[in-house]
């Protein structure tokens, strides 16, 4: 299967995961710190892939470990932003900025560059992501949310570039992946140091109902599958910039899912729907589809 379709599948799963994240963070699990802790703690599940791991180079283990830490703190920033604005806009802004950050970081650290067709696709995907996140009635975004969005995008991009470096220097996928997850697992326990955090984390564990707990675990399983697929796409693709630029497809998936679910959960997954917004989203999705088509034809 082409890295292109692996990436699209990963972003579809991420869209389903993040739509559910928005629901869980809006009411049942309203604390971003607690949500991040449980996400990091569940990273230990990656140890089931240890039999497939052969990465023993200390330098690459260290870089994988750091990549996992960066990704976990990126999740905290993302969850914090997700609580303050619409899911489709938060995800699209982070994705667009992440693609730009990863483009420059990959150029500096990995020496990556794009050919003319790839540049065209990259621009279509980025512009599509910006268009789909634009809100006419709000020229200025929530400043606090924007800070978290910038931080999340930078941390996610840095984590991806570090992982791509590990994959380039080693032929073993599972080794780098497992050490990055182990890094996230260990660092997640730092969230337990402040007493206030411990109270909130353990109070949620004690008060969350069985249905919500099951939904959380299923959602994290979807996120884990998507994360594995994306990391595999990072390994087999030639350009990390394009993998991250394709996150624009995730914006379209998130918009579609939140629009459908907003009729059932209007106070939690609210999406503004009118003729202007519909035209805006269709135009953005057209640009995203055009970028995808260019990559599919000229990859």
- Tens of pLDDT, residue by residue over 227-255, are 899 999 888 887 788 888 887 777 778 77
Of 80-84, 139-143, 245-249, 288-292, give the lowest mean pLDDT range: 139-143
Average pLDDT estimate for 8-13: 90
pLDDT in tens, 133-156: 666 555 445 677 788 889 999 999
> How many CA atoms within 13 Å lie on the side-chain side of 191?
26
Q: How far is CA 22 from the centre of its chain?
A: 13
DSSP string, 251-275: HHHHHHHHHHHHTTSTTTS----SH
pLDDT band at residue 86 using 50, 70 and 90 as cut-offs: low
Q: Which residues contact 53 (CB under 8 A, 6 or more apart)?
A: 172, 174, 175, 178
> How many CA atoms within 13 Å lie on the side-chain side of 228?
12
Task: Report the share of the chain in percent with pLDDT over 70.
Answer: 82
pLDDT at 93: 78
What is the pTM assigned to this prediction?
0.81
Average pLDDT estimate for 118-128: 83
Q: How far is CA 223 from the centre of its chain?
A: 9
Q: CA angle 84-124-291, nearest 5°?
A: 110
Average pLDDT estimate for 103-129: 85
pLDDT in tens, 203-231: 765 555 566 677 778 888 888 899 899 99
Q: Which of 51-60, 159-168, 207-216 has maximum average pLDDT?
A: 159-168
Give the residue numbers spanning the domain of 250.
Answer: 3-298
Instruction: Domain count for the chain, please give it.
Output: 1
Average pLDDT estimate for 75-102: 79
CA distance 117 to 126: 14
Per-position b or e across 38-62, b if 16+ CB within 10 A of its CB: bbbbbbeebeeeeeebebeeeebbe
pLDDT at 139: 46
Q: What is the mean pLDDT of the chain?
A: 80
pLDDT band at residue 88 using 50, 70 and 90 as cut-offs: low
The yes-or-no verdict on residue 120 having pLDDT over 60 is: yes
The two counts, helices (H) then strands (E), for the chain are: 12, 0
pLDDT at 166: 92
């Amino acid at each position: 299967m082409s890295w292109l379709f692996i990436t699209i599948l990963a972003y579809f799963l991420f869209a389903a995961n993040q739509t559910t994240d928005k629901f869980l963070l809006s009411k049942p699990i309203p604390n971003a710190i607690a949500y991040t802790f449980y996400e990091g703690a569940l990273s230990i599940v990656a140890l089931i892939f240890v039999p497939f791991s052969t990465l023993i180079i200390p330098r690459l283990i260290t870089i994988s470990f750091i990549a996992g830490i960066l990704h976990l703190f990126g999740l905290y920033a993302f969850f914090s932003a997700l609580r303050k604005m619409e899911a489709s806009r938060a995800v699209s802004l982070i994705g667009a900025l992440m693609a730009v950050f990863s483009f420059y970081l990959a150029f500096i650290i990995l020496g990556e560059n794009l050919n003319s067709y790839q540049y065209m696709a990259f621009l279509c995907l980025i512009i599509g992501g910006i268009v789909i996140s634009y809100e006419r009635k709000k020229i200025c975004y929530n400043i606090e949310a924007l800070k978290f969005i910038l931080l999340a995008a930078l941390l996610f991009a840095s984590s991806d570039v570090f992982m791509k470096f590990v994959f380039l220097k080693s032929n073993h996928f599972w080794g780098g992946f497992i050490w990055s997850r182990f890094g996230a697992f260990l660092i997640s326990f730092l969230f337990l140091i402040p007493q206030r955090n411990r109270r909130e984390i353990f109070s949620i564990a004690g008060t969350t109902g069985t249905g919500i707990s099951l939904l959380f675990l299923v959602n994290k399983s979807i996120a884990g599958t998507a994360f594995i697929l994306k990391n595999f796409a990072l390994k087999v693709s030639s350009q990390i910039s394009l993998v991250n630029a394709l996150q624009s497809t995730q914006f379209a998936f998130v918009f579609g899912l939140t629009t459908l679910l907003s009729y059932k959960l209007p106070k939690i997954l609210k999406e503004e729907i009118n003729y202007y917004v519909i035209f805006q989203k269709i135009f953005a999705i057209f640009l995203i589809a055009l970028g995808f088509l260019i990559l599919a034809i000229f990859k």
